[in-house]
Amino acid sequence: MNLAFNRIISKSILDMHNLTKINNDDIYNFIDQQILALPDYTRFFLSIIANTFNYFFVILYFRSFINLSSQKRISILRTLKRNKIPVFNLMLKFYEHSILLIAIENQNESTL
């Protein structure tokens, strides 16, 4: 799995939900652990979807997803959530649910 893609999509989702005060290293480590915990066939499928998603935008913007501006990435993710493109929507749900889970957990720990 492409670590740069994991970092960029995680940061974009955090920015999209205004969770910028969360420790990014905890989230990146959690995402990496979640991906490694997946069965091989699921991890392979997620890797193919993520790479396809990353390079799909070369056709539209002449840049891969990780090389787009932060605002453009957030706009793409919001459009993706709204339009629910089947395969990409599954990938986005995996990342978003994992990130929001650890972000809420970190917020609860910091308030205690």
Please write the tens of the pLDDT for every residue from 14-52: 888 887 777 778 888 888 899 999 999 999 999 999 999
Contact 79, 53 (CB under 8 A): no
pLDDT at 75 over 90: yes
Q: How many domains are contained in the chain?
A: 1
Q: Which of 16, 18, 46 is nearest to 31 (CA)?
A: 46
Where does the pLDDT of residue 1 fall: very low under 50, low under 70, confident under 90, or very high at 90 and above?
Answer: low
pLDDT at 72 over 90: yes
* More confident: 111 or 90: 90
Contact 97, 8 (CB under 8 A): no
**Per-residue b/e over 35-46, b at no fewer than 16 CB within 10 Å?**
beeeeeeeeeeb
* CA 9 – CA 1 distance, rounded (Å): 13
Q: What is the pTM of this model?
A: 0.83
Residue 69 structural domain: 3-111
* CA 81 – CA 90 distance, rounded (Å): 10
